[in-house]
Every structure is written in C-alpha cells, then in structure tokens.
Structure 1
C-alpha cells in the first residue's frame, strides 16, 4: 500500500491561539491542493512552545477548538490528520496533546507527551501523559511520540514491536540542537525499520529559533523529503512493500534477544 503524506512545517506565533488556528487552517487547505492522504502538523501549534505567562488562559479548553478545526477539515477533504499537538486544559491540568482524525472526521487517537523537557521547565507547566498511542490510518498501523520523547528509544521500540509501520513525531525543536533532531529521527527509523514522519516548527517564535528540517524517512533511514528552516509544506510517499523488503534483508525483530533487551 502507498500513502502520500504532507508535512506542514508551520511558523507559530507565541501566545496567539486565534492567529495560529487561522493559520493552521490556511496551511491545511493549501496542502490539500495536492490531495495527500495524511496531513501532519507540528507541536503546540496553538500557543507556541510555550508561553509561561497565562498558559492556562491560552490553552484550548478540553481541546474543543482543536477538535472542531481538525475534525471539520478531515471530513471536508476526506483526509487523515495527525494533529501535531496543542496545549489542552482539562480541569486544573494542561496537557501537550496530539489528536488524530480519520477521513470521516472521527477522533481515532489521542496522545499526551510523556517526557517533559526539563531544560525548558515543561514539567512544571504541563501534566505528562501515561499511555501510548496505537492507531490505524487507511489500514496502516501507526503510532507517535512528541518532540523530546524521541530521545527515549524504549518507548518507540515498544510500539514497533506492536506492529507499527508508520511513526509520527511532531516537534518544536530549536535550531541550536538541529543535528540531534535529524540524527535521532534517523536512528529511530533505522532501528525500528518503519517510515517516520517528523514535523517541526519553523522560523522564530518567542525567544527561540526553530530548526525546521521536517523530514519523511524510509525504513532505511533515507530522506524521502527534508525541508529547510522556513515555513513550508512538503510531500512524500510511503510504500509498505519497502518495509517488507527491509525486514526481509535485515530482520532485527527475528534476530533480537528480548531476554537481554529489557530495560528496567
């Protein structure tokens, strides 16, 4: 099976959800001019990553605005949407949450970022998630992580062992560590032998210059598409036959020794 994926490398305005929701809508509509099967957005595209003052006032209450926009867009264009992530408030807690919608506009999965980036103080503002996300889009087994999560390979290997063929990584990754961004995503694609769609913020937001460099990688870790650092939309295609080829030639899942792979 082949699916066409659109990477929406969006520039986000810090602390301006109204503008960011409108801009995300514009970019998704632009992306649909080339009729992809899946749209992918970056991390915290509603608020930016992240306004420390009045985050609770800026976060999407119960995710209602995020759900409305993504569900309406998915059903209108009959497209799958991996909604990056938005800052979502539930009760007194704020989550860095991704929502995934199918072609009918139905919510098929949510994922709350599991690892808070301590260098930025994220754990002091967001409540971390406690579950993985495994979902199916057009018959393809999928999963995801958010930004800093990519540094924790045990999480991602767990999903690979569950049969994932397409993995998503929305992020707000700074330019100062852009080499880590590219190499970590390449490593995760190679070691798990799946397609990986990593979508980062672009440009300047708040006090941070973002790396951009969104990329779609094949199971060999090779670029299908790889953006620069400015706002842009790129398209690439995955092919499940390539996954079978890679896993036939170098079958790490058959050859692994789980008794020695466990991490306590």
Structure 2
C-alpha cells in the first residue's frame, strides 16, 4: 500500500499547512493574466448569445437522470447555436464581483479560473474543420489553424479507449481543456493543484448536462497522449498543459 500513500495524501485537505504559507498573492506579487491573450489580427468567429430556445429538454431532473457517457454519435452536425450554448455552459461569464473577478456558469476556487477551452471541430454547421479556442470574455471562437487528417490526429491523441475504440474521431467536437496552474498557485500555493482538479470536474459535468439538454451526448476522456496534445496546441507542457478532454456529438 506504500506506493499509494503520497497520492492519497494529495487527496486530503492540507489547510493547516496552507495557513503557514505566505502565498504570492499575500506577498503582493502581480496576479497572472486571467485569460490567455491573442494577436489582434487573429480570425474571430462571432457566437450567437446562449439561448434557452436551443434546448430540447429544459427539465433538469430529466437531464441528470438520463445523463450517460455517450460514445456513439450520429452524422448530424451541431449547430453554431448549440456549440455556443455548450461553451457558455462550461466557461461562460455571467458577471463580475467587486474585485473584478469573473463569475461563470461553473464554480471555481477563488474565481481563479485556470482553464482555457480548445476545440477540435469536426462537424459543426458552417464552421470549417480545424483547431479553435474559446474566448469567454468576448464570447467568440478564435480560429487557430486547419488540421490535416483531423480524425487520425484525434485517434493519436486519445490513445487506446477501452470500451469503444476510436469513438472520439466521430464526435462533432472534441473539447480540450488546458490549465495554467499559476493562476491558482498565485492564490493557493501548494493547495492549488487539488482545487484545479476539482474545478475541472465541475466544468465537464456542466458539459454532460448541457449536452443532454440538446439531445447530444458527451464522453469525458482521461486517457490521452499528454506530450502530443500539448505539442499540437502549442503549449509548453509546464506553465500550460491539457488536463482533460471530452467528446461531444449528436446522439444516434
């Protein structure tokens, strides 16, 4: 059992130890940028405002009850309204507090929001296949680049899936969430990493329930090639790296 001890300790609250630490925030060090910047000349795609009329089911009880990890998808594309709604449901900004921190559709420790949402879009109406990033402040899509052999690249990234091999390459969209840990470390020091993992779970669960409400399905993916996916997105693998994936598509 000894090999598990260190990691089990990570799962526990270490608040007593945290209280002894002077965090970078308490030292007065500058807060890291809250959202990853981008070049002004970058191609942006306007997203329609999230609208409840997009939903096919507005009954939250039903959505929770019928939620399943879905690995089979139809060829029906997601609409831009549906994609906009899913992005809003997972990282959408709904307000700001007195300190200027963004309030979003998902809970997050100290409103640190260490995540960026990247998308491998395969089947969204009127959106070319390629790699994109969601800009929550502007509620826009940032086009990054086209990707040759996109389905093959998804296979390479998602490795051996135990239940339905290669299912992710048939999804309409593959969500890839990265974390910039210092956004949380600045405020929470050594306790940040447990919080980051808890917070990304909130994000993915919102994707599950939002997908269910538009007759789509989601499957979270924790088995992936870390180095390959970070390299694909141009991430350094240390200050920013992918932490979770999820495939989304219309149900058969």
TM-score in same-fold range (> 0.5): no
The structure number with the bigger radius of gyration is 2
Structure with the larger strand share: 1
Q: Which has the higher contact order (CA 8 A, sep 6+)?
A: 2
TM-score (norm 2): 0.29
